[in-house]
Structure formats: C-alpha cells, structure tokens
Structure 1
Amino acid sequence: MAKNSTIKIKQTGSPIRRPKDQRKILVGLGLDKMHKVVERQDTPEVRGAIAKIPHLVTVVED
C-alpha cells in the first residue's frame, strides 16, 4: 500500500430499511445517494467500514 493511496467506493445499495448503524457508516464514508462514487484514503479504518457494509457498497477499480 502506497503512502498516499486512495480507494474509490460506490454506493450500490439503498439504506432504506437498514439498521441505523449501517446508515451511519454510509454517511461517514460520504455516501448519501445511490451510485455515488467517493474517493477516500486507503486506511484500515475505511477498509473496516467497507467490510461492515459489503451489501451496500463496492470498491471501484480504475
């Protein structure tokens, strides 16, 4: 992992009828609409957040 590596995350699932903690993870990642793509630093914290909601997000490869 490079020092300034980033990761692109795309929201693929809806937070409707999901537990509140899963919705908070989406907001924490900066995702609020379907098919929105955000770029975040590739850190263990971000990877852990993605691991908690794999049914709602995907990692976009360039």
Structure 2
Amino acid sequence: MAQVRITQVRSTIKRPKTQKLAIQSLGLGKINRSIVLDYNPSIAGVINKVQHLVTIEHI
C-alpha cells in the first residue's frame, strides 16, 4: 500500500471542533510535526477534511 507523509503547516486555533479532532486523529497537533501513514480511504477522508492545514507528500 502507498504511504504518505502528512505535515501540519497551519494552526488549529479558531477552527471548528471537527477539524481539531481530525488533526488529533492523524497524530498531529503542533505545527511542522510530520507522520507517515498508509494511504487508504479512511485516511483520505480525514486529509480531505483538513487539507488546508496540512501538506501531503507521497512516499
């Protein structure tokens, strides 16, 4: 399965609670923190919800 590196680049201050929870579910929470995950439909949905707060790199 393909992997992606997700990096948080914007803050969750003044964001809806659902976006804050999405960032937490990805394992992020601080700016410039990165995580490598397997790309699957559930991760794609979470990324789509917070795409303006993160950058995605295919590995």
Give the alignment's TM-score, normalised by structure 2: 0.90
Select the structure of larger CA radius of gyration. Answer: 1
Cα distance in structure 2, aligned partners of 1:60 and 1:6: 9
Alpha carbon RMSD of aligned pairs, Å? Answer: 1.2
Q: Does 1:59 align with 2:56?
A: yes
Q: Does 1:23 align with 2:23?
A: no
SS at match of 1:55: coil
Alignment match, 2:2: 5
Q: Which runs of 4+ in 1 moved over 2 A?
A: none
Per the TM alignment, residue 61 of structure 1 is displaced from its structure 2 partner at its CA by 4.3
Give the alignment's TM-score, normalised by structure 1: 0.86
Structure 1 spans left out of the alignment, 5+ residues: none
Per the TM alignment, residue 60 of structure 1 is displaced from its structure 2 partner at its CA by 2.3
Sequence identity, in percent?
34
Structure 2 spans left out of the alignment, 5+ residues: none
